[in-house]
């Protein structure tokens, strides 16, 4: 369940009433009210803010949790298993019918009590393994395991394509240096994943992208043959591979390029392995 434009639609009066239950100091309440009503800069002009919290502000996440704490208490009162982070929430029930009933009642609760709207386009009643929560999903086993969702994988591949496309005229080591921060940040975020297949597939795909750059840079078949021989391939196999007439992507995944430029070669150049990064995190936890 996702709330539509949550940070833009927080009702100030409801927020302040919730805060007033715990905060007795009127000066603090006035300060928070001023923060909520701080003007919004649009086109060089300041317009007053009548609802919502300033996005990116350090206080907004805290205030949003204070407001949605009432939702947490309501779900606990009903005995539901749930997980919420900011305006994203997953509620777990046993059947499809129960899910539809709970969805409707929670939607009504949010609308009437907190004046918040559920984003129907991003919300659904579905199996847990068909949904993504904070970029994670899960397997459909009896004892489910956490895995990386499909969308973040596609986003990472898009970033890698952008970097490798620029790298066609650059040294491979420089390309790897540019990739490293992206890969490190990705594996740090998904360090709780229990399914390693996605990490292995991405590792292989990234190495293939780098081999593809190298094949393109060599350009001429004679150059390709010499490079392959320099990496230990026999003369016969090197020339046969260099003159096979296939495209760069096909050759980057072929056995001659895999033999010439194995995983250890890219590791020596500093390429971060997603699988190894995940294993390091799991050993330390």
User: Is residue 114 within 8 Å of residue 14, measured between CB atoms?
Assistant: yes
Q: What is the mean pLDDT of the chain?
A: 87
**CA 23 from chain center: how many Å?**
36
CA distances from 62 to 11, 49, 59, 70 (A): 15, 19, 5, 14
Residue pLDDT, tens place only, 74-83: 999 999 999 9
Q: Is the pLDDT of residue 51 over 80?
A: no
Range in 65-69, 96-100, 173-177, 231-235 with the lowest mean pLDDT: 65-69
pLDDT of residue 282: 75
Residue ranges of the alpha helices (H) in 114-196?
A: 150-166, 172-189
pLDDT of residue 239: 94
In whole angstroms, give the CA distance from residue 194 to residue 145: 6
Residue pLDDT, tens place only, 183-200: 999 999 999 999 899 999
> Would the CA dihedral through 266, 271, 272, 273 be positive or negative?
negative
Percent of the chain with pLDDT over 70: 93
pLDDT of residue 56: 67
Phi, psi angle pair for 122, to nearest 5°? -105, 0
141 or 186: which carries more pLDDT confidence?
186
């Amino acid at each position: 369940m996702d709330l539509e434009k949550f940070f833009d639609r927080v009702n100030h009066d409801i927020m302040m009433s919730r805060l007033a239950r715990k905060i007795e100091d009127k000066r603090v309440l006035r300060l928070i009210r001023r923060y909520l009503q701080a003007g919004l800069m649009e086109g060089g002009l300041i317009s007053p803010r009548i609802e919502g919290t300033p996005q990116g502000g350090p206080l907004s996440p805290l205030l949003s949790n204070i407001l949605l704490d009432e939702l947490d208490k309501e779900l606990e009162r009903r005995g539901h298993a749930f997980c919420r982070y900011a305006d994203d929430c997953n509620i777990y029930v046993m059947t499809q019918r129960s899910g539809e009933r709970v969805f409707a009642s929670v939607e009504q609760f949010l609308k009437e009590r907190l004046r918040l709207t559920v984003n129907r386009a991003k919300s659904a009643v579905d199996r847990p393994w068909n949904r993504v929560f904070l970029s994670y999903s899960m397997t459909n086993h009896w004892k489910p395991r956490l895995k990386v969702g499909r969308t973040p994988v596609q986003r990472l591949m898009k970033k890698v394509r952008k970097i490798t496309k620029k790298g066609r005229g650059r040294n491979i080591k420089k390309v790897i240096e540019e990739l490293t921060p992206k890969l490190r940040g990705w594996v740090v975020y998904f360090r709780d994943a229990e399914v390693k297949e996605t990490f292995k597939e991405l590792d292989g795909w990234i190495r293939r992208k780098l081999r593809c750059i190298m094949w393109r840079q060599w350009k001429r078949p004679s150059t390709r043959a010499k490079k392959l021989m320099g990496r230990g391939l026999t003369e016969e196999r090197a020339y046969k591979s260099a003159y096979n007439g296939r495209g760069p992507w096909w050759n980057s995944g072929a056995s001659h390029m895999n033999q010439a430029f194995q995983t250890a070669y890219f590791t020596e150049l500093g390429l971060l392995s997603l699988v190894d990064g995940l294993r390091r995190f799991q050993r330390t936890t």
